[in-house]
Structure 1
Amino acid sequence: MGFAINTNISALNSYRNLSNTQNDISKSLEKLSTGLRINRAADDAAGLSISEGLRSQVNGLNVAARNAQDGISVIQTAEGALTEVHSILQRMRDLAVQAGNDSNNADARAAIKTEVDGLTAELDRIGKTTNFDGTKLLNGENASLTFQVGADGNTDNQISVNLVKANLNTITEALDNGALGTEGTSFAIADHTALGTTATFTTTNNGVKTTVTTDPLDQTAGGAGWQSVEEYANALRADGNFSANFNVEVTKDTNGKGIGIVVSAKDGGQLLTADNGADASARAGLAAGVESTPMPGGLDFTDAASARNSINLIDAQIKTVSSARSELGAVQNRFEHTIKNLNVSSENLSASASRIRDTDMAKEMASFTRSQIMSQAGTAMLAQANQINQGVLQLLG
């Protein structure tokens, strides 16, 4: 190579390498200061896409865990109120048992009725006022509440809390107007597999006729028909329209096999069948049986027989509240397991995202130190390269 002064190739080469080293130092400083290996898409395009997906999933899981915690809080609020409802119903039952003793005179029974009426009013008040941040829980306003407990937008990531059995309006109505001592209307079911997926029932009470049609009932057998009378009765109980107006019990033969159902109106009304002018039983796929005459509605303690029937009515409400609390407790346990699962998933996915996106500080510091040394060496070599052409001055002298 000639002895040229216009173009110093050695200096240009040293400058190019020094610029690359300074660029590496700049990137290392950015990674060390942010703690992130990927600060822009250019750092790792594929890694950025994967890590952002994981980031969305982790954030969703963390929010879902908080949602599940809120679900537990809602259940604890409702179940706490139902705990007191149980206490009230137990006190009412004690009073009903006391009223069944003929040692009570009319004034004593009147005093018992006064206390029971007050307790019933308190049940009504609890139902109207129990709420979670304004959301009513026990007055039937919300048949169910749905909670998002997953990061994805499908139904598998949701849990529903059923509040149908926790409806205190239904309980207080039964205590105020429920039929005492009636067996309702009996339906013999010869072929339960042929029962329809909806059912319609009609009652008459003081000349007022009420017709209730269920929502499509859930055939748990996967649409293959009802597998038993008990399965059909449970589907009726789970229907909000039916359970708000009727009670249903299964009649069994001597071998314990379900052969029919007994439906009674909670308002003490008379249930109509196809035999007396209504086609309710026919549409329900039921064969009409023999009707019984309901007794007057509401708790009554005027005599021992009425008190005995009142005990049975209160027992039915205690059973309903027990069932409601059991369901709420089961869902609460489910929420707790869900939270544990969400936390573990969030932790593992966070670790995965960290391996892709976060800086290995020790490795990056080693790279930074190397770049610093290379920068110092490059600066020295550039200075040396700039001195090479100084020899030309001797030739010119």
Structure 2
Amino acid sequence: MGMVIKNNMAAQNTLGTLNKNSMALSKSLQKVSSGMRINGAADDASGYAISERMRVQVRGLNQDIDNTQSAISMMKTAEGAISSTVDILKTMKEKAINAANDTNTDADRAIIQKELNQAIDQVDDNASVTFNNKILFDGSADAGTTAEQRIIKALNSEWLDSALSMAKEAYGLSFQEDETSVREMTVKFERGSSGGSGGTTTLAYVTSYFGSDGKTNKLELTINMDVYDALAEHDVNGKAGSYPYLDRTIAHEMTHAVMSANITGFNNLPKYIKEGAADYIHGIDDQGDRKNVLLALTPDTVNSQFANGDGVVPYAMGYALFHYLNAKSGHDGHMMTRFMNVLDEKGGSALDEAVAAASKGGFSSAAAAIAGFKQDLTDYTAAGHTTKEFLKEYCDIDFDNNFDTGSALGSKAWMGESANAEQVVIEGKSPNFWYYPGSDTSVIQGLTVKWPNYTRPDGGFRFQVGTKANQNIQAQFSDIHATALGLRSDDGKNLSVETRAEAKRTMTVLDRALEKALDQQTTIGALQSRMEYTASNLTTASENVQASESTIRDANMAREMTDYTKNNVLMQAAQSMLAQANQSSSAVLSLLQ
């Protein structure tokens, strides 16, 4: 290269190398000082984008963990309230058992009632608990506005259980027996059908399907929604307009169901036996159509009426016959159990033997019992008495006594306390108690109930536990106020133990209230446990994503220090060489002297 003074290319080249080394040293210094391999998109564009997405995910997961911890705190608050309520209900059950004992006077029961009133008020206080000003037990799990929703909830929580309990206690029949032929029933809602036996409008009915062996292999319960679309919102008995209470209709129909499932040849029994037994379970002394049939009886019409299969006649005649058999057997309280035991063991063809067992040998057959009924009516009316008086004297059917419907478990059947139309099927004080099935089937006293499709309101709390919009856990709580546990009516009347009869009914209501409260407590506990698992899973996910992000973005300090040292040495070397290159131009001056 020639000796020039205008362009010192050696110095220029060295300067370029110095700049490169200076930039490399600057980047190394930035990496070493920050601890990150990627400090900006220029360092690694794709790596930077991937890392930033991971950082967003990590921050989201960490917030999810915080959300989950807050949700767990909410669950603990709710669990504390429901736990206190369960303790109160246990105490109330103890007090109700005490009140049902006849060693207590009515004055004693009045004192016990004061304790219950305070306990019920405390249940309401517990249910009003809030978390961050949010009402926890808002009833979103059981909300419903349509008649179908209310009926499904009532069937699931009270009506079916009460009906099966009545059949088991009064008749000794249940779906839990070894020889029961079918243990499943489908519930259906029907519209556009108003005909049916037993009246101009069939409110609800059970359909039994029989095999060639005479055994039932399928059951269906149909509810006529043409009537029950007008279901009263605040009536626990299921009243719709002028129609009878649906709870009693369900008791009637479930008596058919449990008889059909246990009695081979049930379909071949006389209609007055099938319908009379179903009416006897809940009593009909308050029902005008049956009452009119019985009051119109004369000795001359007895046989024809027992043979009559139209309308409500077989219902009324069968009901009267069972009351007659009960009176003739000495009111020992086990007449129907003896009757059903024979049919259960030997089938419908053993009807005469069942009547003999029910009457303790007083009658050898159903025909003999009808003949005895007719003869007693003949003799009694011939003595100047009325049919109404005969029914009271010989059948314990007192149409003037409105305190008891004549049910198999009531005072007229000599089995228990008086129970009127509202009391004969035991329910809580408010429909707010009713709650939905946990799934599309429920098992109630050994019977698997298959529910129809229905809509369920969407509400409650949603806990965000994921980084995507739909990754959440829903929590819906039942209402646990006094009305929602059946302890207080919608108009403010508390559950009562002021009489022995009321105390006995209260015991059943409290059992169901405890079942609902414990179910809610179990739900809360399960949610809390799920939240804890979720928090653990989110923590693991956050750690793993952060580890992956670290692999991409964090600097390897050993390598970076090596690079830094190298770049620092190269920087110093370039500086030294630049100084040498700048000296090379001064050699030209010697030529100019």
What is the TM-score normalised by the length of structure 1? 0.68
1:360 deviation in Å?
A: 1.5
Of 192, 202, 214, which aligns to 2:149? 214
Match of 2:505 in 1: 309
SS of structure 2 residue aligned to 1:259 = strand
Match of 1:276 in 2: 243
1:288 deviation in Å?
A: 12
CA distance in 2, matches of 1:13, 1:269: 99
Match of 1:257 in 2: 183
State how many pairs are aligned.
302
Match of 2:566 in 1: 370
Match of 1:89 in 2: 89
CA distance in 2, matches of 1:302, 1:136: 34
Q: CA RMSD in A?
A: 3.4
CA distance in 1, matches of 2:524, 2:569: 67
Deviations 1:161-207 (A, max 9, x none): xxx37x9xxxxxxxxxxxxxxxxxxxxxxxxxxxxxx9953xxxxxx
CA distance in 1, matches of 2:530, 2:94: 35
Correspondence list, 1:201-350, <5 A: 201=147, 213-214=148-149, 236-237=152-153, 247-249=158-160, 253=175, 254-255=180-181, 257-259=183-185, 269-272=236-239, 276=243, 292=282, 293-295=421-423, 297=429, 298-350=494-546
What is the percentage of aligned positions where both structures have the same residue?
33
Deviations 1:218-240 (A, max 9, x none): xxxxxxxxxxxxxxx9xx44xxx
Correspondence list, 1:121-132, <5 A: 121-128=121-128, 130-132=129-131
Q: Is the 8 A contact 1:275 1:288 kept in 2?
A: no
Distance 1:275-1:258 versus aligned 2 partners, 3 A rule: farther
CA distance in 2, matches of 1:249, 1:24: 83
Q: Is the 8 A contact 2:232 2:239 kept in 1?
A: no
Distance 1:117-1:321 versus aligned 2 partners, 3 A rule: same
1:302 deviation in Å?
A: 3.0
SS of structure 1 residue aligned to 2:4 = coil
Larger deviation, residues 25-34 vs 78-87:
25-34
Distance 1:327-1:265 versus aligned 2 partners, 3 A rule: farther
Structure 1 unmatched runs, 5+: 144-163, 168-197, 202-212, 216-232, 280-285
Amino acid across the alignment from 2:137? L
Amino acid across the alignment from 2:184? G
Deviations 1:119-169 (A, max 9, x none): 1011112212x01111111243xx2xxxxxxxxxxxxxxxxxxxx37x9xx
Match of 1:8 in 2: 8
CA distance in 2, matches of 1:13, 1:43: 26
Match of 2:580 in 1: 384
SS of structure 1 residue aligned to 2:6 = coil
Match of 1:36 in 2: 36
Distance 1:127-1:294 versus aligned 2 partners, 3 A rule: same
Q: Is the 8 A contact 1:36 1:359 kept in 2?
A: yes
CA distance in 2, matches of 1:359, 1:101: 81
1:70 deviation in Å?
A: 0.9
Match of 1:282 in 2: none
CA distance in 2, matches of 1:92, 1:266: 28
Is 2:204 aligned against 1:76?
no
Match of 2:553 in 1: 357
1:270 deviation in Å?
A: 3.2
Q: Is the 8 A contact 1:246 1:266 kept in 2?
A: no
Amino acid across the alignment from 1:370? K
Distance 1:127-1:274 versus aligned 2 partners, 3 A rule: closer
Deviations 1:82-130 (A, max 9, x none): 11101100110000000011110111000001110111011112212x0
Amino acid across the alignment from 1:276? Y
Q: Is the 8 A contact 2:237 2:245 kept in 1?
A: no
Amino acid across the alignment from 2:81? A
CA distance in 1, matches of 2:240, 2:495: 27
CA distance in 2, matches of 1:100, 1:266: 31
Correspondence list, 1:20-35, <5 A: 20-35=20-35
The structure with the larger Rg is 2
CA distance in 2, matches of 1:249, 1:321: 19
Distance 1:324-1:17 versus aligned 2 partners, 3 A rule: same
SS of structure 2 residue aligned to 1:104 = coil
CA distance in 2, matches of 1:246, 1:323: 12
CA distance in 2, matches of 1:44, 1:112: 79
Q: Is the 8 A contact 2:93 2:507 kept in 1?
A: yes
CA distance in 2, matches of 1:248, 1:353: 59
1:304 deviation in Å?
A: 2.3
Distance 1:333-1:124 versus aligned 2 partners, 3 A rule: same
What is the TM-score normalised by the length of structure 2? 0.47
Structure 2 unmatched runs, 5+: 165-173, 188-220, 224-230, 247-252, 257-277, 283-420, 430-493
Distance 1:288-1:274 versus aligned 2 partners, 3 A rule: farther
Q: Is the 8 A contact 1:274 1:288 kept in 2?
A: no
SS of structure 1 residue aligned to 2:238 = strand
Amino acid across the alignment from 1:294? E
CA distance in 2, matches of 1:9, 1:277: 113
1:274 deviation in Å?
A: 11
Amino acid across the alignment from 1:329? G
1:276 deviation in Å?
A: 3.4
